[in-house]
Amino acid sequence: MKKANRPSPHLLALALVSLLTGACGSEEIFPSFDELALLQELHTLTKRPPVDSTNRFADDSRAAELGLALFNDKKLSGCGTVACASCHGGEGKTVDTAFAEGCDGHLTARNPPTTLNADYNRWFMWDGRADRLWNQAILPLTNPYEMNSNADIVRARLTEAYATSYQDIFGKTPEETVDGNEVLANVGKLMQAYERKINRTNAPFDEDVRRFIAAVDVSQAQVEADPAFLGLKTYFRKGQCIVCHKGATMSDNLFHNIGVKDTTPSAAGQYVAMQPMLDWPFNAAGRYSDNRTGLDATRLPAMQLDLQNKRTEMEGAYKTPTLRNIALTGPYMHTGELVTLGDVVDFYDKGGEPASAFTGVKTSTIVELKLTTEERQSLIHLLESMTGTQQ
């Protein structure tokens, strides 16, 4: 008979001390049993993003090769001067300015999110108005302030430069793809196949967390002597980062109003984005999805209920971005107004902006933190350690 794994004596002692300190009202030792469980989920992202059954070409190497060419092709745009790579070509796969420049000098309405590790997300765009990476690609492509394109322009460019490759993948030529929406969906699926390969995982942070967890099994003295101790403790407790930035993706994949300064017409965020997404023919349950009854599609009715019942929580709410590779992806927030990681920590330390500076109601976890100088620096160092290696 296989022997059951037994907790180490130190872990048993940890449980006892946690109970005693809790009963006495003094600060519980770090990590507690519950915090240790969260720590064990926090490291080591899978090598590849989750399978996306709504795109049958998501892991097709031919699609990825053509997707790369299209990603860099400026002639897909209406102005002929802007490609996806124009905004997503740097080391952090985004621009280093608050907004990006689109066709005819127009600026994007929000800070462009990174394409690094993009397909580990469950929702796309800051406000969630795309539910799959392939349909997200359609939005900047057809936005008049970004690439200002349409199905006719895209079909013509495919016919001119990529007809053979397109037919090899989809079984018909671009010209034979009469439905303009199908053309756009197919291009989005090619883009996704490429973007699924733009990943940076395996960060020093992962090694640090694994080492820290191993120390827990030895002694509390070794835990507190670990270089990551103060950063992780602040991340979990005083900083409350773990409330939203959890799991190996370091995001809860939800939307929150954290009090970022924004009084623009689009400041309502998720609340105004959800209904158009639910009505969109390109969503996971729509006619251009390759799996209209899978989990990605069946979660959408719950969002419809949220629109009816959770307006307060959704108004002014934006997606929790991953913290992985965050040192490469500034400036930060959907407005791009925070330039450095120090600015980000200071924003949370003061509890966000005053209520008059943004739309909606700030989530209850965003409060003044009163971090010490050492805690602030330890958090910044922790964030800097989350940069992964290129695959």
The full set of domains in the chain, from first to last, is 1-48+200-269+315-391 (1.10.760.10), 61-198 (1.10.760.10)
Alpha-carbon distance of 216 to 8, in angstroms, equals: 10
Which pTM does this prediction carry? 0.92
Backbone angles phi, psi at 124, to 5 degrees: -135, 160
What is residue 8's predicted lDDT score, i.e. its pLDDT? 52
Alpha-carbon distance of 360 to 237, in angstroms, equals: 26
Closest among 139, 135, 149 to 288, alpha carbons compared: 135
Closest among 142, 80, 86 to 115, alpha carbons compared: 86
How many Cα atoms occupy the beta-carbon half-sphere of 148 within 13 Å? 16
Q: Which residues are annotated as a binding site for heme c?
A: 84, 87-88, 241, 244-245
Token pair for 334:
């959907």
Is the Cα torsion angle 202, 335, 301, 182 positive or negative in sign? negative
How many Cα atoms occupy the beta-carbon half-sphere of 27 within 13 Å? 6
Provide the 3-class DSSP secondary structure of residue 146.
coil
Closest among 318, 334, 316, 335 to 268, alpha carbons compared: 316
Which one-letter DSSP state was computed for residue 155?
H
Q: What share of the chain is helix, strand, coil (3-state, %, to 5)?
A: 45, 5, 50
Alpha-carbon distance of 287 to 174, in angstroms, equals: 19
Low-confidence residues in the chain, pLDDT < 50: 1-6, 10, 23
Specify which residues 260 forms β-bridges with: none
What is residue 12's predicted lDDT score, i.e. its pLDDT? 55
Give the DSSP letter string of 16-85. HHHHHHHHHTSPPPSS-HHHHHHHHHHS---SSPPP-TT-TTTT-HHHHHHHHHHHT-GGGSSSSS--HH
Q: Which residues are annotated as a binding site?
A: 84, 87-88, 241, 244-245
What is residue 125's predicted lDDT score, i.e. its pLDDT? 98
Provide the 3-class DSSP secondary structure of residue 86.
helix
Specify which residues 389 forms β-bridges with: 201
Alpha-carbon distance of 135 to 120, in angstroms, equals: 15
- 23, exposed or middle or buried, with CB in 10 Å at 0-12, 13-18, 19+? exposed
* Amino acid residing at 240: Q
* Amino acid residing at 368: E
What is residue 6's predicted lDDT score, i.e. its pLDDT? 42
Provide the 3-class DSSP secondary structure of residue 124.
strand
- Residue pair 147/102 in contact (Cβ under 8 Å)? The answer is yes
